[in-house]
Structure 1
Amino acid sequence: MSVLTWITFASLAAWLWLLLCQGFFWRTDVRLPERTDPEQWPPVAVVVPARDEAGVLPSSLPSLLAQDYPGRAEVFLVDDGSVDGTGEVARALGREHGGLALTVDSPGEPPPGWTGKLWAVRHGMALARARTDAEYLLLTDADIAHAPDSLRELVAAASSGGLDLVSQMARLRVSTAWERLIVPAFVYFFAQLYPFRRINRPGARTTAAAGGCVLLRWEAAERAGVPDSVRHAVIDDVSTARAVRRAGGRIWLGLADRVDSVRPYPRLGQLWRMVSRSAYTQLRHNPFLLAGTVAGLAVVYLVPPAAVVAGALTGDGTPLVAGAVAWAVMAGTYVPMLRYYRQPLALAPLLPLTALLYLLMTVDSAVQHHRGRGAAWKGRTYARPEAAP
């Protein structure tokens, strides 16, 4: 058999393994677990780190202030050095909409060794500790809009299941052509790397969270040393979940039904920066992991369509059939995510094109890191963890 045929069979074997043995990552039915209302609703502090978010706050902050929560809850928005009037916009929205009590404050620039977001979270937690006796923290990004019962459902799920961290992967905005091509695949690839069903098993090694919506038991946060123990983490949600699990906490992660990101990514360049800023960090800044990832993406995602084309041109039916089957399995596993995002199923066969874009974004992430511009976001560039004080 030709080299192409062997590689195509390897790709097909990889897809059969992914289909059956990778925690059924492709299923989208992992939603909040069964829950009952607690006898007494615990107090909650909602901490929102925000840097230059004046444009999205009118679509997100009112949804937090309007939470229908039976217990005591208070919102702490921490302005992380914004230059666009984020703090003023937040205060105006608080006066206009009312609802939950809102505190807006700023901690100043983060000290060496801290990311801006985690420094803001630390400041918000300190404000909450001084003002409330909260049993839970809701850590949510400034671009996340919550349904009125979101906080109630999160707390009920945590208290019913004895969970220390409950996280929902917010439904990202999908409106433009580039968002349709790239955004559902972002969540698909995340679930492939961190299968939700595995994460939710007690004591599982696979651990992750989605930073846009994390409900954290305060006692578990203190036991894990959060946020100080993860202060330099660029991928702070996964690092936080790992710290909580290492400290003996129970973790749950799933897809959201009524928690949505309102941040637009209408152009390819914006989506590219969103992915590339942390892709090489995910690979621990390791060139060997980068090379393995690029090779793996090529074999798993790019070989099937290439084999179909090559087989059709040369008349060799073996790679054509094997490539077509692998491509069909690939597209079939992507269909549930497209349905979740209410997108045309015709996008499923285009997943190899999307994977090629992610491959290029990952390589670009490594290039930018080696040029000293890695992990750059909103005017800040963060050092590798081993280089941070």
Structure 2
Amino acid sequence: MTGVALAGRRADWAGRAAAAWAALYGTVALVWTVTGSGYPFGPGDGERETSMLRGMPASVGAPLFAAVLLATAVTALATTGRPAVRGAARTGILAFGWTVVAALLVVVPDVRLLTRAGYAPMVILGAPFGWPPVDYSEIITWPVANMAVCVLGGLLLARALLVWQFRGAGLCERCGRGKLAPQWTTPEGAARWGRWAAYLAAGVPALYAVSRFGWAAAVLFGLSDAHREEFGGDAVVWAGAGLGAFALAGAVLTLGLVQRWGEVYPRWMIGFAGRPVPVKLAVVPATIVAVFVTSASLGLASAGAFAKLAGDSALLVAPMALWPAWGPALAAATLAYYLRRRPECPACAPAATAPATPAPTAH
């Protein structure tokens, strides 16, 4: 089997996985429809304030999920073959597929996924010491679990659609390279526009970190009682400090997308110094955070949360008003990092990966 054919078969894994996911989750949605129970969103969701699906009842949402997901399964299966369809049919398949991706990644989830990710370091590090005293059943709720499942499905479907698009455009179906690829996808082009995206994506969480450190300090020194009752006494100080530290770490790691130490481990990292940083180690978490931030900002905007900029919570909310720029900027910076560092693949360089043909011997 040639390197190109092997790469094509490997590239189809996302289409098969997305089809299996959509078929299974669509079947679950059919169960919601038939039984009238289990639908995780809408009025039955107890924490639906920032959910864009908060007004969609089960009688509408469950059959809608079932119909869209089962249609998505068929669409995903279609992406595993050669792009035989052309013209309006191809455009319609791509339009439907990318609409579903957008819904799964930024409409279905809300701010809860981001807040869980923000508090995760504190929960993980404090677990051996019994702090913070949390009820995990209140953290990983049924709606939150379904949001995570939808994000997973959206990422799988996005990969499947990209492979199919690359295939139809005459590009490498595994990585998107080719003579017809636009200039902005080259390492040089990505380095130019990716730098500004990374600076913006790092600046927003840095401002957020400053606001959370200030919030924690104000409560610690008795200058404010904001959210003290929500967190239980002085736990608000640790919450503010933890969120600030997480955001600041995220800002620093974002700068790594355009710094040398984001490509090669620095000398102080014993055991790793001088080795290249795996591309996926940066791309995967940054992509997930970009999705979480974008969905959170849309949910907050739909709930009118940014209207508090003129109220008592203005200092806490103001940095969050920049989140609509943070998510897309982080996604762009992550894409630029990938375009600069993506490795060679068998489909792009089949000659380099094919076994050498032995020269004929003279008799």
TM-score, normalised by the number of residues in structure 1: 0.28
Q: Kindly name which structure, 1 or 2, has the bigger radius of gyration based on alpha carbons.
A: 2
Q: Which has the higher helix share?
A: 2
